[in-house]
Amino acid sequence: MVDLRRETGDAYRVDCFEANAVNYGAPQLRERALFVGNRLDRVVTFPPPAHGSDDTEQGKLFRALKPYRTLRDAIGELHEDNPVLLDFSPRKKKYLAMVPPGGNWRSLPPKLQKESMGQAWYAKGGRSGWWRRLSWDLPSPTVVTMPNHASTSMCHPVEVRVLSLAECAAVQEFPPDWEFAGTVLEQYEQVGNAVPPRLGVVAGDVIARQLDATRAKKVKANGKGELWDKAQAVFAPAFRKVYVKSHVRTRQWFKAGTVFVWDQDGGDNRHARYSAVGRAQRGRKPPLP
């Protein structure tokens, strides 16, 4: 990574914002670090989340956040005659058929967990994507480049198949007529590697506001290369990192044999849960939404 201050003789100051697209209306959890450098002697600020929940008393009193947008909001009305699919193998579909909407590998009986995951079953942490079936009523997890992999599974909530290319693009909020090129794998990679356009709009607005304000009186540094941050009433360093509530959890995957929904809207969701073993395991299809 290039150090703008060093490479330009301290001409730039940089603000880095850790943000999550779901907080600004995207229907997926997607954390990103956004760097904004400027030579205008300005301290850049990033807008607070507009969606989600704020369980602080001050947040409840002064801010009314919109609810998170969900997978259903993104693809619930999307219908395709010939979907482009980087689909699961028959073996993977065998296990995914046993997982209920919103569940993952923990929804399988222990014997099948070990059988299907091999040595990965003994690993610690980072396994929430194994045999994952998505939920209509929660934001999508981060769209990945290989949604058909066992450990990064993005299985449709009610059909035993991977999310189609168009569905992944809709979760990313690409325009519906956007065209992708190359092989099926390359097209999925283009979608999975992209930054959500919505987050780009938010970042663009941040930059536009700074450009619109360039005629304002410049703030002098305090002799240490720091600028006065009016919003926070402090001197800001030449480089700073700002956390904008980027880590968002909508699930508590497993507790005492049950898969729970966790803090989606700031309310008490302890009653909301998914069954530990799906109906499909007993020879029936998962329930329709």
Instruction: Write down the pLDDT at residue 269.
Output: 43
206 in any annotated domain: no
95 in any annotated domain: yes
171 in any annotated domain: yes
**Lowest pLDDT segment from 3-12, 21-30, 73-82:** 3-12
Q: Which of 119, 88, 121, 94 is nearest to 105 (CA)?
A: 121
**Lowest pLDDT segment from 45-49, 55-59, 213-217:** 55-59
228 confidence band (pLDDT: 50, 70, 90) = low
Residues recorded for the chain:
289
Distance CA 141, CA 22 (A): 10
101 in any annotated domain: yes
To the nearest 10 degrees (0 to 180), the angle between helices 165-172 and 184-192 is 10
> Is the per-residue pLDDT at 186 higher than 90?
yes
Read off the pTM. Answer: 0.78
Contact criterion met (CB below 8 Å) for 179 and 36: no
**Lowest pLDDT segment from 96-105, 164-173, 238-247, 260-269:** 260-269
The pair of structure tokens assigned to 115 is: 């059988």
76 in any annotated domain: yes
189 in any annotated domain: yes
Q: Which residues lie closer than 8 Å to 28 by C-beta, 6 or more apart?
A: 21, 22, 74, 139, 140, 141, 142, 143, 171, 172, 196
164 in any annotated domain: yes
Beta pairing class for 251-255 and 258-261: antiparallel
Q: Which of 224, 271, 230, 269 is nearest to 250 (CA)?
A: 269
Q: Which residues lie closer than 8 Å to 279 by C-beta, 6 or more apart?
A: 100, 285, 286, 287
Q: How many other C-beta atoms can be found within 10 angstroms of the C-beta atom of residue 102?
A: 26
Range of the domain at 86: 71-194
> Is the per-residue pLDDT at 287 higher than 50?
no
| H or E element, residue 170 | helix 165-172
What's phi and psi for 74, nearest 5 deg?
Answer: -80, -45
Contact criterion met (CB below 8 Å) for 115 and 108: no
What average pLDDT does the segment 133-143 reach?
A: 93
The CATH number linked to 92 is 3.90.120.10
Distance CA 147, CA 163 (A): 7
Q: Which residues of 62-94 are buried (b: 16+ CB within 10 A; e: fewer)?
A: eeebeebbbbbbbbeeeeeeeebbbbbeeebee
Instruction: Write down the pLDDT at residue 128.
Output: 86
Portion of the chain with pLDDT greater than 70, in percent:
72
32 in any annotated domain: no
Domain count, the chain: 1
224 confidence band (pLDDT: 50, 70, 90) = low
> Is the per-residue pLDDT at 171 higher than 50?
yes
At 81-92, the pLDDT tens digits run: 999 999 999 999
Cα dihedral: 19, 22, 28, 33 (round 10)? -10
User: Which is more confidently placed, 124 or 207?
Assistant: 207
